[in-house]
Structure 1
Amino acid sequence: MLVGYCRTSSIEQMAGYQAQLRDLKLQGCEKVFSEQVSSVNSNRPELERAIDFARESDVLVVTRLDRLARSVSDLSQIVARLEAKQVGLKILDMNIDTTSPTGRLLMNLVGSIAQFEREIMLARQREGIAKAKAEHKFKGRAPTARRKASQILEMHLAGQGASQIAKIVKVGRSSVYRILAEAA
């Protein structure tokens, strides 16, 4: 049985999400597990359900490697769990299928290259930020909630609750509480 897994990092990525679902169905996946959660988050319940659901000689199918794992160690752990259950892994965009020795070799190579690229990108990003800071051009992320502090305080004084304020002002509830605590 082909078991599909699709993931996007956020619900804003609806087109990519729908494209993954379409591709998995076209591939012939009989059961598809899907979620919209960042892979950085270690809690991916639908991935866990997909792995638990898969039985011996099934194949877990994903559209792209980055939809499944974020690092070589993460990928290795997932592949090891699948291998322990004698479940294969197929990555559509790379045409990799671990049910063959060549597919397993390619999986290890691709995972290593993907992690290498990510580490290089992060190193360049850190270098760019350090340079911008040295030139006094880097300000960091704009403090969205703090810019809205006066509006939050006015709404609180008008009797609105933190959850309602957060929804109207479009900031996190914890940010509302932090601003109210700082003002007290």
Structure 2
Amino acid sequence: MIIGYARVSTDDQKLEAQTDALEGAGAERIFADKITGSARSRPQLDQMIDQLRQGDVVVVAKYDRLARSLRDLLDIVQTIRERGAGFRSLAEDIDTTTPAGRLVFHVFASIAQFERERISERTREGLQAARKRGRIGGRPPALSPAQRDEVKRMRDEEHRSLAEIARLFKVSTKTVRRVT
């Protein structure tokens, strides 16, 4: 049986393009998650893997829909293989039911991981260069220094709860907790 798996990261994104491609590839059943690829638990992926049988083939539109990291991708494909099933990625034309397909799969996965690491490295380098020029990267503070002082005063002198202070300043309780 050909089984499709589709995933989008947010509820705003649509699954139709992926499901259309999977149906076009002959998928008889499609499992779909609306969850970030870095999440360890993906209910539909877990259910699909539980239902795999010898000879099944899992098909995805692109292999990054299955996993975000090389390690995760290799682990999932290994689990699929342990169930006696194969793996196909339509966009990358990978089919692990053949020796050549397994080789291509590992090469593509390595290249994708390398590219993610290079992006991360370039980001770190850019932030370091900006710091040397006196710029600080990241999000601006949620509270000004004066607001931080007021939060401390309200907490210490008025004994207000974190939740109450957070509501007053329109920030999260975690932000208030970091100040106090």
Q: Is TM-score (shorter-chain normalized) higher than 0.5?
A: yes
Summarize deviations over 1:10-46 as a string: whole Å, max 9, x none: 12222xx221122112222111111111111211121
Q: Does 1:122 align with 2:120?
A: yes
Q: Distance in 2 between matches of 1:179 and 1:82?
A: 42
Name the CA distance, whole Å, in 1 between partners of 2:118 and 2:43: 30
Which of 161, 172, 176 in structure 2 is aligned with 1:176? 172
From the superposition, tell whether residues 35 and 102 of structure 1 become closer, same or farther in structure 2 (CA, over 3 Å): same
Correspondence list, 1:101-140, <5 A: 101-140=99-138
- Match among 85, 88, 95 for residue 86 of structure 2: 88
Cα 1:126–1:183 change in 2 (3 A) is closer
Match of 2:41 among 40, 43, 48: 43
Summarize the alignment of residues 18-167 of structure 1 with structure 2, pairs less than 5 Å apart.
18-143=16-141, 146=143
The residue that corresponds to 2:160 in the other structure is none
Q: Which runs of 5+ in 2 are unaligned?
A: 152-162
When residues 139 and 62 of structure 1 are mapped into structure 2, their CA distance, relative to the original with a 3 A threshold, is same
Shift of 1:135: 1.4
Worse overlay, 68-77 or 81-90: 68-77
TM-score, normalised by the number of residues in structure 2: 0.78
**TM-score (normalised: structure 1):** 0.76
Residue identity opposite 1:7 in structure 2: R
Offset at residue 181 of structure 1 (A): 6.1
Q: Distance in 1 between matches of 2:127 and 2:178?
A: 29
The offset of 1:179, in angstroms, is 5.7
Unaligned runs of 5+ in 1: 154-161
Name the aligned partner's letter for residue 8 of structure 2: T
Tell me the matched-pair count.
161
Task: From the two aligned structures, give the one with the greater helix fraction.
Answer: 1
The alignment partner of 2:17 has SS state of helix
Rate the CA distance shift 1:49–1:146 in 2: closer, same or farther, 3 A: farther
Q: Quick one: structure 1 residues 138 and 98, their matched pair in 2 at CA, closer, same or farther if it must change by over 3 Å?
A: same
Percent identity between the two aligned chains: 38
1:6 partner amino acid: A
Deviations 1:22-74 (A, max 9, x none): 21122221111111111112111211111111211010010111111222221
Provide the aligned C-alpha RMSD in A. Answer: 2.6
Rg larger for: 2
